[in-house]
């Protein structure tokens, strides 16, 4: 099959290149402006309780979210001054009439003192917006100058903008800038490394061409995906990392093998056919392993994780297809000119490198047990800090310090009662009638009193916002009398409050915590609130951002093993197809887990513990992103198999020829050691460029991927693989006889190529 692909690429080389030259620019043009169409957030599970609460609040009760928070402040006087009120009331009316505004909450209309700072120099408007993220972004862009102009008309008055829409806009801007900076760093450094590796400008250009085409292809796929599903903004980062990294990796392997075959005296077509039949086969199965890892993300319902999976599938598929079609066609066109434009001051060193790796492999195999222990023990020690993994969700603090949206959110927590916007959303539903229906109001108020008493006893609860907030102001008896009164007879502010938190049989209670949403105390409060004792006919559901994190952690605990199990099962099958062995796949996966868990532990030790802050230029939050291990597993587990498949494919080639296990391992490592090291160095440069990101999530991913790939390509492949291959001997290639016969009969052995 792969030999036939080589023949096809040689005979249709011009047509293939022309087709790509036509399609790639179209795709690049079509994918312009895709970033604003991608979504932030996406950590909710539609089947989880927190999502159900959010759906009720926004869909049925029309309460909306804190999409835009305008913090108004005065340099002198208070927010109750006449000139302030004269400016704010018309402003609120203007905002209400915007077609994207669902609701505006302010102290001026509700009397809620939680919206006012203790010194009365600040207040904030909570504006809920309709539509999707793009609609909310447009609404914010439209409302920002209107609010700013109204505020500027009052001397000494200022405004800050916080909430979901401003944070999202800042996030989009920074991610777009990060992508530009990372690619601006990665491309020239990668080009320099390729020139050093190949000593030829013609050869060095091929991986860069493939990388650029792969990224364009994947962005086009994202542009198509957003037409049918929500896609996370972070998928763009994964596309850039994988697109450039994998295309360069695959190109490096194929170009190196093509040059090697030409050097042996083969003509261009024969060299291309052998390259496709050997390294092309290894690349194809390597790509399948990466695809398998990415597919594992689809066991999760969260849009964020699924869209990273979509991004990975798109870019890996594009890189693989181009590596097996476009690159062979380009090699066929260049032929012996693939070595042209040589750099005169660079000296070829492949022979010296081969001698070095041959010496390394033989040295390792002389003391395999000692080497294996010397590798495994330090790797396990590196993994130990992962036991302290403190999973969380990103919030405004992932933005760089000094970002206006982040500063506004910090003002909300510092100048007002902290954590109001991250309060637990408790939705109480009565089955017998509307909340304040005169026929049922006495029973409902009794239930609410019982719930409030239980909530007040939960450790860390500082305030409960709901109809019974009145009790603390006027006493229980007076509060109940006011709540029992018909709506037309109630105080105006109380009526507005009740209208804002009730809808038919449902009522929303906000429970404010003393701690930030991702603190262990806040998560314990979610559990306690969901365990409240209620009578029959009353249901209580708990959401809010802490609820989302609580549900996400539960999903990871239940579905994480499913992801790992699925990935390992499919990976085992793919590796069996490649090698016809059942021991090689098991050993390969164990080694991958070793390098991955070591990188997990290192990330906790560095970022969660707050080390190297100056060098890596980040602000420690003393927690970790809950999804980082999942994404690292999905991406790096497959990437690591690239090097495993390439190395063991070459070892297998030699073993089939000689039957000598030690010699085949030594020769296989000698012929691929330099190539794997170079490929890893290139990939580390690409992913390492994202360490420059101002978003901590991406910085952590960049460090984690670079570390895992670096460990895998050096310590694991150069030391542990030869040691274990020596210890296992011919058992490396063992499979039950029926499976082995089936494998050979299917034409998957080397002899069939």
Count CB atoms within 10 A of the CB of residue 603. Answer: 25
pLDDT at 351 over 60: no
Distance between CA atoms of residues 466 and 102, nearest Å = 20
pLDDT, tens digit, for every residue of 237-247? 777 777 778 88
At 353 the pLDDT is: 54
Rounded to a whole number of angstroms, the distance between the first and last alpha carbons of the chain is 8
Distance between CA atoms of residues 332 and 355, nearest Å = 30
At 751 the pLDDT is: 46
Domain definitions of the chain by residue range: 2-41+168-392+577-747, 69-162, 424-543
Q: Is 158 exposed, middle or buried (0-12, 13-18, 19+ CB in 10 A)?
A: middle
Distance between CA atoms of residues 230 and 304, nearest Å = 9
For the domain with range 2-41+168-392+577-747, which CATH number is right: 1.20.1640.10, 1.10.10.10, 1.20.1250.20, 1.10.760.10?
Answer: 1.20.1640.10
Strand 461-465 versus strand 101-105 pairing type: unpaired
Strand 68-74 versus strand 157-162 pairing type: antiparallel
Local structure of residue 714 (DSSP, 8 states): I
pLDDT, tens digit, for every residue of 52-62? 898 888 878 87
Backbone φ, ψ for residue 67 (5° rounding): -65, -35
pLDDT at 546 over 60: yes
> In sequence order, what are the beta bridge partners of 161?
70
At 602 the pLDDT is: 92
Contact 235, 222 (CB under 8 A): yes
pLDDT at 73 over 90: yes
pLDDT at 752 over 50: no
Contact 725, 654 (CB under 8 A): no
Averaged pLDDT score across all residues of the chain: 85
What is the distance of C-alpha 492 from the center of its chain? Answer: 47
Spatial CA neighbour of 272 closest among 208, 338, 318: 338
At 748 the pLDDT is: 54
Which H/E stretch holds residue 425?
strand 424-430
Distance between CA atoms of residues 50 and 547, nearest Å = 5
Tokens of 97: 């009439």
Distance between CA atoms of residues 177 and 236, nearest Å = 12
Query: Tell me, which fold does domain 69-162 have in CATH?
Result: Alpha-Beta Plaits (3.30.70)
Spatial CA neighbour of 724 closest among 371, 396, 374: 371
Contact 352, 656 (CB under 8 A): no
pLDDT at 215 over 50: yes
* Residue owning tokens 């082995």: 740
Average pLDDT for residues 600-607, to the nearest whole number?
92
Tokens of 111: 């009397």
Going by pLDDT thresholds of 50, 70 and 90, the confidence category of residue 329 is very high
pLDDT at 169 over 60: yes
Distance between CA atoms of residues 299 and 557, nearest Å = 12
At 753 the pLDDT is: 44
- Global pTM value: 0.82
pLDDT at 1 over 80: no
Contact 624, 391 (CB under 8 A): yes
The more confident residue out of 506 and 37 is 506
Tokens of 71: 């913090």
At 591 the pLDDT is: 87
Contact 505, 429 (CB under 8 A): yes
Spatial CA neighbour of 5 closest among 323, 321, 273: 273
* Residue owning tokens 């108020």: 445
At 333 the pLDDT is: 92
Least confident of 314-323, 471-480, 538-547, 629-638: 471-480
Residue count of the chain, please give it: 753
pLDDT at 322 over 70: yes
Least confident of 123-127, 305-309, 466-470, 745-749: 745-749
Q: Best-predicted range by mean pLDDT among 163-172, 394-403, 522-531?
A: 522-531
Strand 68-74 versus strand 538-543 pairing type: unpaired
Same fold across 2-41+168-392+577-747 and 424-543: no
Distance between CA atoms of residues 548 and 523, nearest Å = 10
Spatial CA neighbour of 107 closest among 129, 130, 84: 84
Half-sphere exposure of 175 (CA within 13 A, CB side): 24
CA angle 542, 547, 552 (to 5 degrees): 135
The more confident residue out of 527 and 697 is 527
At 527 the pLDDT is: 95
Instruction: Collapse the DSSP code of 503 into the 3-class scheme (helix H, G, I; strand E, B; otherwise coil) and give the result.
Output: strand
pLDDT, tens digit, for every residue of 452-505? 999 999 999 998 988 887 776 677 788 788 888 877 777 777 777 777 788 889
* Residue owning tokens 């495994």: 376
pLDDT at 441 over 90: no
**Rounded percentage of the chain residues whose pLDDT exceeds 70:** 97
Average pLDDT for residues 296-319, to the nearest whole number?
86
Strand 461-465 versus strand 391-392 pairing type: unpaired
**Rounded percentage of the chain residues whose pLDDT exceeds 90:** 23
Strand 624-625 versus strand 391-392 pairing type: parallel
At 747 the pLDDT is: 58
What is the distance of C-alpha 324 from the center of its chain? Answer: 28
Distance between CA atoms of residues 334 and 5, nearest Å = 17
Distance between CA atoms of residues 322 and 318, nearest Å = 6
Distance between CA atoms of residues 258 and 273, nearest Å = 9
The CA–CA distances, whole Å, from 644 to 129, 319, 366, 508, 712 equal 51, 19, 22, 55, 9
Class of domain 424-543: alpha beta
Tokens of 440: 């049922």
Distance between CA atoms of residues 202 and 333, nearest Å = 12
Distance between CA atoms of residues 387 and 649, nearest Å = 36
Residues contacting residue 271 through CB under 8 Å, at least 6 positions apart: 258, 261, 262
Average pLDDT for residues 437-442, to the nearest whole number?
85
pLDDT at 367 over 60: yes
pLDDT at 175 over 70: yes
Distance between CA atoms of residues 316 and 283, nearest Å = 11
pLDDT at 349 over 70: no
At 539 the pLDDT is: 93
At 746 the pLDDT is: 62
Which H/E stretch holds residue 159?
strand 157-162
């Amino acid at each position: 099959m792969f030999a036939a692909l080589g023949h096809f690429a040689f005979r249709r080389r011009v047509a293939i290149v022309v087709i790509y030259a036509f399609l790639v620019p179209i795709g690049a043009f079509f994918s312009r402006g895709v970033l604003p169409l991608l979504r932030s957030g996406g950590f909710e599970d539609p089947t989880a309780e927190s999502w159900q609460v959010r759906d009720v609040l926004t869909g049925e009760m029309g309460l909306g979210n804190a999409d835009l928070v305008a913090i108004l402040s005065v340099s002198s006087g208070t927010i109750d001054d006449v000139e302030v009120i004269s400016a704010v009331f018309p402003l609120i009316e203007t905002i209400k009439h915007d077609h994207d505004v669902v609701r505006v909450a302010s102290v001026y209309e509700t009397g809620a003192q939680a919206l006012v700072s203790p010194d009365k120099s600040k207040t904030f408007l909570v504006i809920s917006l309709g539509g999707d993220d793009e609609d909310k972004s447009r609404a914010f862009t439209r409302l920002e100058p209107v609010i700013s102009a109204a505020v500027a008309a009052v001397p000494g008055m200022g405004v800050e903008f916080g909430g979901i829409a401003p944070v999202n806009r800042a996030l989009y801007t920074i991610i777009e800038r990060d992508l530009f900076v990372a690619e601006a760093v990665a491309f020239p450094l990668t080009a320099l490394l390729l020139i050093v590796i190949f000593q030829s400008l013609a050869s060095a250009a091929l991986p860069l061409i493939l990388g650029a085409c792969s990224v364009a292809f994947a962005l086009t796929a994202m542009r198509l995906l957003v037409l049918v599903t929500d896609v996370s903004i972070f998928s763009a980062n994964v596309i850039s990392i994988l697109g450039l990294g994998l295309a360069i990796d695959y190109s490096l392997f194929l170009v190196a093998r093509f040059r090697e075959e030409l050097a042996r005296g083969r003509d261009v077509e024969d060299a291309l056919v052998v390259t496709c039949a050997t390294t092309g086969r290894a690349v194809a199965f390597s790509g399948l392993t990466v695809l398998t890892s990415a597919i594992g993300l689809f066991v999760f319902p969260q849009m964020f994780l699924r869209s990273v999976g979509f991004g990975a599938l798109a870019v890996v598929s594009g890189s693989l297809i181009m590596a097996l079609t476009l690159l062979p066609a380009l090699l066929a066109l260049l032929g012996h000119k693939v070595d042209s434009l040589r750099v005169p001051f660079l000296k070829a060193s492949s022979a010296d490198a081969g001698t070095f790796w041959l010496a390394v492999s033989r040295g390792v195999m002389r003391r395999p047990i000692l080497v294996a222990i010397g590798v495994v023990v330090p790797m396990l020690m590196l993994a130990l800090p992962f036991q302290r993994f403190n999973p969380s969700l990103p919030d405004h603090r992932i933005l760089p310090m000094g970002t206006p949206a982040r500063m506004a959110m910090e003002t909300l927590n510092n100048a007002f009662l902290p954590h109001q916007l991250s309060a637990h959303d408790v939705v109480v539903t009565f089955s017998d009638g509307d909340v304040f229906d005169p026929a049922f109001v006495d029973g409902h108020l009794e239930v609410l009193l019982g719930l409030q008493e239980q909530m007040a006893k939960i450790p860390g609860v500082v305030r409960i916002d709901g109809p019974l907030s009145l009790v603390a102001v006027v006493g229980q008896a007076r509060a109940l009398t006011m709540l029992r009164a018909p709506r037309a007879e109630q105080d105006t502010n109380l009526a507005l409050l009740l209208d804002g938190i009730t809808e038919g049989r449902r009522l929303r209670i906000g429970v404010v915590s003393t701690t930030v949403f991702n603190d262990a105390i806040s998560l314990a409060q979610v559990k306690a609130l969901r365990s409240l004792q209620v009578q029959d006919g009353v249901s209580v559901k708990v959401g809010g951002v802490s609820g989302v994190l609580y549900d996400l952690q539960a999903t990871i605990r239940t579905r994480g093993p499913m992801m790992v199990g699925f990935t390992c099962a499919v990976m085992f099958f793919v590796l069996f197809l490649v090698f016809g062995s059942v021991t090689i796949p098991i050993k390969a996966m164990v080694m991958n887990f070793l390098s991955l868990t070591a990188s997990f532990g290192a990330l906790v030790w560095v970022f969660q513990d707050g080390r190297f802050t100056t060098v890596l230029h980040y602000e420690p939050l003393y927690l970790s992103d809950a999804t980082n291990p999942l994404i690292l597993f999905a991406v790096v587990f497959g990437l690591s198999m690239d090097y495993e498949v390439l190395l063991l494919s070459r070892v297998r080639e030699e073993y089939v020829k000689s039957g000598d296990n030690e010699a085949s391992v030594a020769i296989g490592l000698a012929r691929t050691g330099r190539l794997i090291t170079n490929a890893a160095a290139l990939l580390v440069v690409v992913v390492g460029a994202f360490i420059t990101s101002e978003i901590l999530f991406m910085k952590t991913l960049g460090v984690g991927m670079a570390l895992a790939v670096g460990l895998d390509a050096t310590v694991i492949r150069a030391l542990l693989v030869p040691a274990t291959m020596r210890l296992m001997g011919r058992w490396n290639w063992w499979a039950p006889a029926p499976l082995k016969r089936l494998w050979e009969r299917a034409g998957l052995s080397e002899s069939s190529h």
